[in-house]
Every structure is written in C-alpha cells, then in structure tokens.
Structure 1
Amino acid sequence: MRVVSGTRKGKQLKAVPGHSTRPTTDKVKEAIFNMVGPYFEGGVCLDLFAGSGGLGIEALSRGADKAIFVDRDGKAIQTIHENVKICEFEDQSEIFRNDAERALKAILKRELTFHRIFLDPPYKKQQLLKLLEFIQAEDLLEEDGLIICEHGSEIVLPPIVGQLVQRKQEKYGMIAITIYERQ
C-alpha cells in the first residue's frame, strides 16, 4: 500500500495488522480519485471506517486541507497514527476511535461539514444506506461535496437518497464504488 499521487506520492503506508480490516487496493484508490477529480483545492474530508487511513491520507496528499479519521478498531487507530506520521500530516489530521454513528453525532455538535466523505464499512455489516440518510438529513456534506462509498459489488445502492444523487458507479471485481453528490 502506498500513496498514489500528490505531495506524498510513493510513500509506503502500513496495513492494519491482522484480518479485521480490508485495505483499499492502490488500483481502486487510484480509480476513486480519478472519478472525484484527481486533485483538490482545500476542503475537509472525513474518512469513516478509516482502517489504515489510506483514503484520507491520499486526499491530503492531493490537496485537502484537513482529514478526520474514524475507526473503532484500536489496531486501526494505531496504524492511522503511524501512517499520518510517516506522511507528515499530523497537523492536518484528527484521529478518533469511535463507531461511525457516534462519530457522526459528535461531528454534528462541532457543526462541521465536509468536502469529501469516504465510507468504506465492513462489507458483511453493510450500513451504507443508513449512513447516507443520516449525512443527508443532518446536512454534513458541503454543496459541492461528494460521498464516496466502497462496497461489495453485489450491493445495489439507490440512485437518490434525499438530496444526494448518485453521480457514478463502477465495479472492480468484487468491489464497487458508488459516488453521491448533493443535488
């Protein structure tokens, strides 16, 4: 695993030890960022179910101002800290050990909104629709923001969730990427 492009291109990232997480492959990560515009002019991103932190770190490398990383696994949190340090993004990162729903409720209290939200939950415990509905209802996505969902290719997400409209969907073997934008 490595940073694919941007200011930290080529930096090797550590994987979370064990089998509790499934890292996004470099090929899929590159495809995601090609779909959402390869580089960013600032903005804050949220990497929910962050695992090793690869998606949020990639966003920082490509120009995001700040990334908030959330995962409930202690080993994942430790790995994110290590990867953020390797890439020298400590000042642009916030890392929280929490489950997704509690983290989103805590974010609400801070009145934050996001330019990019990465949702990569465990495939077997699919909760993407519930998360999309919450994000939409609580207005956590900026007007020009995108939500990037990584999920099993057998999962079919609805074309519209409130004000969120599916912009694109691509399949890469057993993995699918679905991107939503605010209408």
Structure 2
Amino acid sequence: MRIVSGEFGGRRLKAVPGMKTRPTTDKVKESIFNMIGPYFSGGTALDLYGGSGGLAIESVSRGMEHAVIIDRQYQAIKTITDNVAVAKQPEKFEIKKGDSNQIIDHMDSSKTKFDLLLLDPPYKQQKIVKDINKLVELNLLADDAVIVCETNQEAKLPDEIDNFKLWKRQDYGITEVSIYRGE
C-alpha cells in the first residue's frame, strides 16, 4: 500500500495487522480520487471507519487541508498514527479512537463542516445510509459535500440519500464504489 499521488505521493503505508480490516487497494484508491478530484483546493475530510487511514491520508496529500480519522480498534489507531507520521504533517490530521456514532454526536457543527466523507465500513456492518442521515441531521456535512462509499456488491445503496444524489458508481470485483454529491 502506498500514497498514490499528491504531496505525499509514493510513500509507503502500513496495513492493519490481522484480518479485521480490508485495506482499499491502490488501484481502487486511485480510481476513487480520479472520479472525485483528482485534486482539491482545501476542505476537510472525515473518514468514519479509518482502518489504515489510507483514504484520509490520500485526500490530504491531494489538497484537503485537514482530515479527521475515526476507528474503534486499537491496532487500527496504531497503524493510522504510524501512517500519518509518514506524511510528516501530523497537524493536518485528527485521529479519534472510539465508536463513530458516539464521536460524531460530540462534534460541533458550528466549527466543522466536512467537504468529503469517506465511508468504508466492515462489509458485514453496512450502515452507510444511517451514518449519512445522522451526519446530515447533526449538520456536519457541507451542502456540496462529496460522499464516497466503498461496499461489497450486496450493499445495494439507493440513488439518493437525504440531499445527496448518486453521482457515480463503479464496480471493482467484489468491491463497489458509490459516490454522492450534495445539491
């Protein structure tokens, strides 16, 4: 695994040890960012199921100003911390350990609006629609936010979630990427 492009491009990232996470392949990561960017001029990203932190780190490498990465597993948090160190700009990242729902309940929408939402939950725990609805309810997403959902083929996400409409959908073997944009 590596950072594909941008300021930190080419640097190697670690995967979370064990079988509890499934890192996004470099090919899928590159495709995702080519579909949504490929580069950004500022903004804030939220990765609710950080895993290795690769998607959030890639977003900052490509121009996001800041990224918040959440995961509840100790090994994932350790790996994210190590991978953020590879970027050599830790001030651009905020790493939070815990349940994503509990953490977002305590975020202040007057201080933070996310421009990019990265959702790659464990395939067996598909609650993407519920997560998006909660973030909208808490007013944590910018009106024109982009939402990237990485699922398996069985997830069958709808064409519209709250004020966000399906923009692009692409299959990569067992992985499906659905991208939504705010109206």
Q: TM-score range by the shorter chain?
A: over 0.9
Inter-partner Cα distance in structure 1 for 2:158 and 2:150 = 14
Q: Partner of 1:168 in structure 2?
A: 168
Q: 1:109 to 1:116 in 2, by over 3 A?
A: closer
Identity of aligned residues (%): 44
How many Å apart are 1:89 and its aligned residue? 2.4
After the TM superposition, which residues 52-67 of structure 1 pair with which residues of structure 2 at under 5 Å, given as runs?
A: 52-67=52-67
Unpaired runs of 5+ in structure 2?
A: none
Letter in 2 for 1:19: M
Cα RMSD for the two superposed structures: 1.2
Other-structure match for 1:101? 101
Q: 1:122 to 1:110 in 2, by over 3 A?
A: farther
Shift of 1:136: 2.3
CA contact (8 A) 1:136 1:161 kept: no
Asked if the contact 1:70–1:96 (Cα under 8 Å) also holds between the matched residues in 2, the reply is: yes
- Could you say which residue in structure 1 is the equivalent of 2:21? 21
Q: Which residue of 2 aligns with 1:151?
A: 151
How far did residue 112 of structure 1 move?
A: 1.5
Partner residue, 2:135: 135
Match of 2:80 in 1: 80
Mapped contact 2:164–2:180 kept (Cα < 8 A): yes
Mark the runs of 5 or more structure 1 residues left unpaired by the alignment. none
How many residues get paired?
183
8 A contact 1:3–1:57 mirrored in 2: yes
CA distance in 2, matches of 1:7, 1:101: 31
Is 1:179–2:175 an aligned residue pair? no
Check the 8 A contact 1:166/1:181 in 2, yes or no: yes
Paired with 2:109 and 2:86, the residues of 1 have a C-alpha distance of 31
